[in-house]
Amino acid sequence: MTSKRLEVGIVLRLLLLLGLLYAAERALEHGKFGLLVLTVLFIAGAVWELGRHITRGTQALANFLLAVKYRDFSQHYNEAHPDRSLRPLHAVFNQLSATFRQLSAEREAQFTYLQTVLELIDTGIISYDETGKVESINESFKRTLELPYLKSMATLQKRYPVLHDAIGELQPGVSTVVKLTVGGQTMQLLLSATQFRLQGREFTLVAFKNVSHTLDETETEAWQKLLRVMTHEIMNSVAPIASLADSLRRDLRREVEQAALAQPERDLLDDVVEGIGIIQHRSEGLLRFAQVYRDFSTIGTPLLTTVYVQEMFASIRGLMSAQLAEAGIELENSVEPADLCLQVDSRLMEQVLINLVLNAAFAVATTPRPRLRLRAHRLESGRVVIDLADNGMGIPPELLDSIFIPFFTTRKGGTGIGLSLAKQIMHLHRGSINVQSTVGAGTVFQLEFPAEEAH
């Protein structure tokens, strides 16, 4: 339709131009120069109008394509234009602009949806190009690594060289676990990566998830199974030995007392009785040891109640104040806010705090001014953290990975179950226990509870 109207307009203008040319020829022939000048002016106007009519649609199309180039679809074209030939063209332009606006809005909505999903998931995601320029990171990545922004992988290398090297060695489709310390807290990150090409550029997308809690749960479960097997075998094997030793000792003692024996024979039998008694005593001690660890490996489901942290700290102070005062150890308490509370098993949590305080008291035993600080506060994420800090001798770095292993202890007479028990109890509360220590400066144990447990 537009083409026909354009052609009709051209034909009419050409006919008008021919008519004017004929009139100019007649005026020249009759020597009417005034009329000739006027006719020439009309001819010039007709030629200008013909050119304008021909190029009007082309100019409109060029303007529309320029708007498309710069993605400007806000223009509206007059569909009631005086030039009828342009009306259909303007209608098509408006339809195309509306289509482009809709596509742009849909793409923007999809992008917003994707960004919202990426911000909500607890998996850290980073993408970067072949030059190391970071194209995108999500909130979980920044929160986990405590990085407000990241423009280049070179910055990551300066901040966390271990993580940077692990990402550099990561093969697409292959996952790996890397241990990283962030803000004094050690975590284990499960890394995976993929590569893709977009607009002629190579990109690498890396995703990581903090699996420390999952791995700790698996480790704890493995230790519990091992403990159950060990205690079962120990008790089944040692119980008959203890019983037999007790029977032999009593029977032999009775025979020695009743028989008329020379002194050398009596002394020898007394030594045998004493040896059997030692066997019995150690067997019974081993049975008690196995019973303790069997109880440790079978902690039941916590009985959750609302516990005010301030009251729990007061209870700990009441239980431990005499023992700490005797050792000259100062204990400081602080709770922010004062009405901070948790949904926990008070009995189990008190047991955790008592074990930690006892360990801390041992650590500051040789410190000139021994001091413990027990502090509870809420993080911006809603999680509640309880810190127990001491100014003791600290823990050597090579031992930090071992202190939560059952039976492991560096203290003479220690059982090696206090920290293992604390870790297990925290896992039952869906929380975590971490440690930061500097040799010669002190140690901080941190209990962290999930946000939904805090009130």
- The pLDDT tens digits of the residues spanning 268-279 come to 777 777 777 777
Quick check: 420 and 409 in contact, CB under 8 A?
no
Question: Of the ranges 5-19, 30-44, 327-341, 416-430, which is most confident?
Answer: 327-341
Average pLDDT over residues 34-48: 74
The single-letter code of the amino acid at 313 is F
Chain centroid to CA 75: 45
Cβ atoms < 10 Å from Cβ of 252: 16
- Which long-range contacts (C-beta less than 8 Å, at least 24 apart) are formed by 289-295? 289/234, 290/230, 290/231, 290/234, 290/235, 290/238, 291/231, 291/235, 292/415, 292/417, 293/227, 293/230, 293/231, 293/406, 293/417, 294/227, 294/228, 294/231, 294/232, 294/235
What pLDDT is stored for residue 285 in this prediction? 66
Highest-confidence range of 138-152, 212-226, 312-326, 411-425, by mean pLDDT?
Answer: 312-326
Return the pLDDT at 310: 92
Please give the Cα distance from 152 to 135 (Å, whole number).
9
Contact 403, 416 (CB under 8 A): no
Instruction: Write out pLDDT tens, residues 262-305.
Output: 677 767 777 777 777 777 776 776 676 666 556 655 666 788 89
Whether the Cβ atoms of residue 329 and residue 390 lie closer than 8 Å to each other: no
Q: Round to whole Å and give the CA distance between 316 and 374.
A: 10
**What mean pLDDT is predicted for residues 330-348?**
89
Please determine, for residue 119, whether its predicted confidence score (pLDDT) is greater than 70. Answer: no
How far is the first Cα of the chain from the last one, in angstroms, to the nearest whole number?
Answer: 72
Sequence-distant (6+) residues with CB within 8 A of 404 are: 419, 420, 423, 433
User: Which structure tokens are listed for 12?
Assistant: 């009419």
pLDDT for the residue numbered 300: 64
- Which has more pLDDT, 263 or 386? 386
pLDDT band of 366, cuts 50, 70, 90: confident
E strands within 271-393? 305-308, 330-336, 341-344, 371-378, 384-390
Determine the pLDDT at residue 298. 60
Q: How far apart are CA 404 and CA 352, in angstroms?
A: 13
Quote the percentage of the chain above a pLDDT of 70. 75
Residue 93 and residue 95: Cα distance in Å, rounded? 5
Q: In the beta sheet, which residues pair with residue 437?
A: 443
- What was the pLDDT predicted at 453? 47
Determine the number of helices (DSSP H) and then strands (DSSP E) in the chain: 12, 12
Spell out the long-range contacts of 380-385 with Cβ–Cβ below 8 A and sequence spacing 24 or more. 381/143, 381/451, 382/451, 382/454, 383/448, 383/449, 383/450, 383/451, 383/454, 384/309, 384/340, 384/342, 384/448, 384/449, 384/453, 384/454, 385/446, 385/447, 385/448, 385/449
pLDDT in tens, 135-163: 888 888 888 788 887 888 888 888 888 88
